[in-house]
Structure 1
């Protein structure tokens, strides 16, 4: 126990001697004083000019000019003003102290601290994307802290010599970290570029199917290029991935046939444009609805009652599909009705036809409503009225319901009876007598 106390006392004495020597050295306390002055000056200048910079750089809320966008972009960097200003003033102070005293380690350490504060402000206040903010907290801020303490070079050297084996490949810890950082940044840039390209494509005058195909092609090209650039920057040779890509090829060939088939079918659909977003389709399997989204694997149908149906793209190629909305053409519907056998059926077309044509959603092109004699039923004479409309009778429009109302009212106003099922029962012989 006494040896431990003596050792601790020796360390304390040494530390006191070093601190005392540091305090009585004019070069050291003058550098420390310059650090304090630089920090206070940066805080004072920032408080004075920040409101003026905000007022000068803030554009009108509804302004979307190039200059307004540039001014909004510059405003994003305002949190870096104080630490970078302190960094610049400290750099000037370092030149002064080195010219006078020939040393500047203390002020150089302070300069690195101010740079660390700038990095922390950048991650905390400027990064809004969750992925980039997490990357900054886990990688950028720790590296800036290590740099501020002066240990960056030894840490990087240790990471460079630490090898991580992975099958036939091996990576240094520094290379792996560099790959993760570069891949994350490239993925973010790819996503941002993809959003910008989609916005640009949406503004172009082209068919929806062509627009979606262009967006998918741009997405594949952007993320493919981002992957290749990330691999190149990280120093990973693509030839080392031959085994991995070969295994993926075998997996696609045997286990992912349906996915590959659906992907190719999706490309064919986008190229041919026979079914695209906004079309109301009905498949052989009974699925029916409006296409609200088309992905690389499937199409999303929305029914009139709000349900979403996921239909594989292959079903649009190998089965019969009825498209009610192709090229924006009108659609024809029919409504059945019956009249009594006592009716003068020659009057029916002149009664029902004008009543249906008077409805505001019924078209006169390609033809007016047509009333046809459909057959002679058990209870009455069967008719059908055919009419054209723009749109789909999907439960929201209720075209056929309105037409049935119009037919009912027109026949009632004309005094024509709408029959209901009747049966005539003939009993042969006398009825059995009930016992008294």
Structure 2
């Protein structure tokens, strides 16, 4: 018994050990996805709170340690999953590592970006003031680029948020722990990381924009201080004069080079009429000579303004302020001329590059000779150099304009009290105008990548009202012209004026929308967007609009026509509008009918070809009446009615015998009526019936009255049926 008990206990212990070993093996085999104990979170059990908390850190060092643990866990999981899952996860984990590194760098850059405030000096030289102005312009360009990046980043954030939500739904749809859920969880973390990285970039860009605005504001204050505390020396004045003489010599030389370039271009164009590349290169080189001449011209204007500014600061008594004012105005006019030319050169250089692209598309590079390729490279390089020179010219023109403005202010300060008082008023007006311009140019919102300002909105409203006003003026002028001219149909004038009205409104709307930043250069894109809009909410409106255009172009329906619809509505067309047509019935009620209904349904036009209409007036006489007499009497009565049309080619009134009715002879008066009564059928019919009845009554012609015989049948034999029922007729 003891041996049996021992054997049973031994078997039980072996079974328990084997079961424990089996459970452990199964758990190890089926759960290779166990996360590292020190990992930030488990990818098989992710939630939004865990993902959000990952990016809520106190220090950069803490975030880096957290990232190290996360990457270690990902490497471990990469080794434990199957080969197929490993191929999917490997590029995802590499991208996670790169994004985490970028996130760390952005955090470090965020803590280090600080701009030192500009120094406030007691006096400023002309070069120092010009340096501050250049710095402000550079910062404004950088600020504009940052603002453009902010717009792009905002759009990217919205797209990434949608991608994250989509991946979150995919992850939550996998209920059981598996490799698929693990892969989806790691992808979800990558989407969250990309979203947070873009959000951090957006925050950094916004802080940089605020920092740039602050720096620009401080520099503008420093520049105002510099304008009020400028100084110069005789040595600086002499240096400016020497600089002016040297630049003028170069300018004269550049004019000679320009003449040579023009002569060379003329010669090449005459000799190489069929060589498009040689002609294009000669044209670009001639443009470059013009740009170089304009650069030296502007530098001469800058040196001249610097020289005279230095002299005015030194308060030389020999200076003629009136002559300096003339120089200021002359420099400003020359700058405007150079600015206009620079815009033309820029457009021309861009077109030349496009033209080169057209030449390259016509003859592939692999079929070209080596010399041809070299010539094309020279064309491209010269055109690109021209664009760089144009940008340099624009920057230097800003320097010249700034120094010229400083010179104008200094001359005002040195002028007499009366002149200074007048100049102060002008300067105050300029400042007020500039403040208005700044407020008008302040960006309110964006349409795509285009900023919309208050000025854009005011321009939009002005163009809309101006278009409506111009349209009314044109319509009134055309209408008055038609009234004063004989032989012009009112319906034709109406069609023309309506079409002109629609055309002017469409053009005005396009111009108005372009002021808000809408780009209509890509017509296919605009047509596609319009098609999408029509497919949803504008289909009915567009259908009625096109139907109205069709009605106006066709001559089947026009203003003044008397029509009858399938519904039985009769009336005169008063207006054909964009969306509907206005019909006035004989009771004076205006009815709005959608244009699409008129196009798609049957319409009876009573006055389409001719304004006259033939009426059919039925009447009866008793049997035995002289038909010839009836015809004579009724025709004479119809001719006396004023509505009857008496014109050559129009038949006279006729009387026709239609039917031998139950109660008498059924006749019909057929008569053509005048234009004014074509649309008044009820009134005209009443007048003709009135005249017919009067004429028949005067001739003692009987108008039959329907008779009815009633037979009374009694069921009682004591009351026999009347044998002569005709005595009971009533």
- Name the TM-score class by shorter chain: 0.5 to 0.7
Partner secondary structure for residue 310 of structure 1: strand
Moved more, 237-246 or 318-327: 237-246
Matches within 5 A, 1:399-410: 399-410=684-695
Out of 648, 666, 670, the position equivalent to 1:382 is 666
- Alignment match, 2:640: 358
Out of 325, 329, 344, the position equivalent to 2:626 is 344
> Structure 1 CA distance, aligned partners of 2:551 and 2:439?
54
- Alignment match, 1:100: 416
Q: Does 1:316 align with 2:316?
A: no
- Alignment match, 1:20: none
Change (3 A) 1:313 1:155: closer
Matches within 5 A, 1:239-318: 246-318=528-600
Render the CA deviation track for 1:202-224: whole Å, top value 9, x for unaligned: 22464444433322332233233
Q: Does 1:414 align with 2:699?
A: yes
- Alignment match, 2:291: none
Change (3 A) 1:158 1:284: closer
Change (3 A) 1:330 1:236: closer
Give yes or no for contact 2:618–2:669 (8 Å, CA) kept in 1.
Answer: yes
- Alignment match, 2:446: 166
The gaps in structure 2 that reach 5 residues or longer are 1-410, 720-730
What's the offset of the Cα at 1:383? 1.2
Change (3 A) 1:367 1:97: same
- Alignment match, 2:103: none
- Alignment match, 1:369: 653
- Alignment match, 1:153: 434
Give yes or no for contact 2:440–2:453 (8 Å, CA) kept in 1.
Answer: no
What's the offset of the Cα at 1:198? 1.1
> Structure 1 CA distance, aligned partners of 2:568 and 2:412?
83
What's the offset of the Cα at 1:395? 4.6
Give yes or no for contact 2:443–2:454 (8 Å, CA) kept in 1.
Answer: no
Moved more, 333-342 or 418-427: 418-427
> Structure 1 CA distance, aligned partners of 2:620 and 2:476?
55
- Alignment match, 1:398: 683
Partner secondary structure for residue 327 of structure 1: coil
Change (3 A) 1:352 1:153: closer
Change (3 A) 1:328 1:345: closer
What's the offset of the Cα at 1:412? 0.7
> Structure 2 CA distance, aligned partners of 1:217 and 1:349?
52
- Alignment match, 1:133: none
Moved more, 369-378 or 405-414: 369-378
Q: Does 1:187 align with 2:503?
A: no
> Structure 2 CA distance, aligned partners of 1:158 and 1:390?
67
> Structure 2 CA distance, aligned partners of 1:383 and 1:243?
68
Give yes or no for contact 1:183–1:230 (8 Å, CA) kept in 2.
Answer: yes
Give yes or no for contact 2:613–2:678 (8 Å, CA) kept in 1.
Answer: no
Moved more, 199-208 or 355-364: 199-208
Partner secondary structure for residue 326 of structure 1: coil
Change (3 A) 1:351 1:417: same
- Alignment match, 1:212: 494
The aligned length equals 301
What's the offset of the Cα at 1:151? 4.6
What's the offset of the Cα at 1:280? 0.7
- Alignment match, 1:178: 455
Give yes or no for contact 1:304–1:396 (8 Å, CA) kept in 2.
Answer: no
Change (3 A) 1:358 1:109: same
The gaps in structure 1 that reach 5 residues or longer are 1-94, 113-146
What's the offset of the Cα at 1:353? 1.3
Change (3 A) 1:230 1:394: closer
Change (3 A) 1:377 1:245: same
What's the offset of the Cα at 1:264? 2.4
Render the CA deviation track for 1:323-354: whole Å, top value 9, x for unaligned: 11223431011111111224233421112111
What's the offset of the Cα at 1:431? 8.7
> Structure 2 CA distance, aligned partners of 1:197 and 1:418?
61
What's the offset of the Cα at 1:432? 6.8
What's the offset of the Cα at 1:406? 0.8
Give yes or no for contact 2:584–2:591 (8 Å, CA) kept in 1.
Answer: yes
Give yes or no for contact 1:393–1:400 (8 Å, CA) kept in 2.
Answer: no
TM-score (norm 2): 0.37
What's the offset of the Cα at 1:278? 0.6
- Alignment match, 2:474: 197
Q: Does 1:325 align with 2:607?
A: yes
TM-score (norm 1): 0.60
Change (3 A) 1:259 1:208: farther
Give yes or no for contact 1:283–1:322 (8 Å, CA) kept in 2.
Answer: yes
Give yes or no for contact 1:371–1:383 (8 Å, CA) kept in 2.
Answer: yes
Aligned-residue CA RMSD in angstroms?
A: 3.5
Partner secondary structure for residue 104 of structure 1: helix
Moved more, 406-415 or 183-192: 183-192
> Structure 1 CA distance, aligned partners of 2:439 and 2:643?
77
Render the CA deviation track for 1:271-300: whole Å, top value 9, x for unaligned: 221111011100112121000001122211
Give yes or no for contact 1:277–1:294 (8 Å, CA) kept in 2.
Answer: yes
Matches within 5 A, 1:15-26: none
Give yes or no for contact 2:491–2:560 (8 Å, CA) kept in 1.
Answer: no
What's the offset of the Cα at 1:394? 4.5
More helix by share: 2
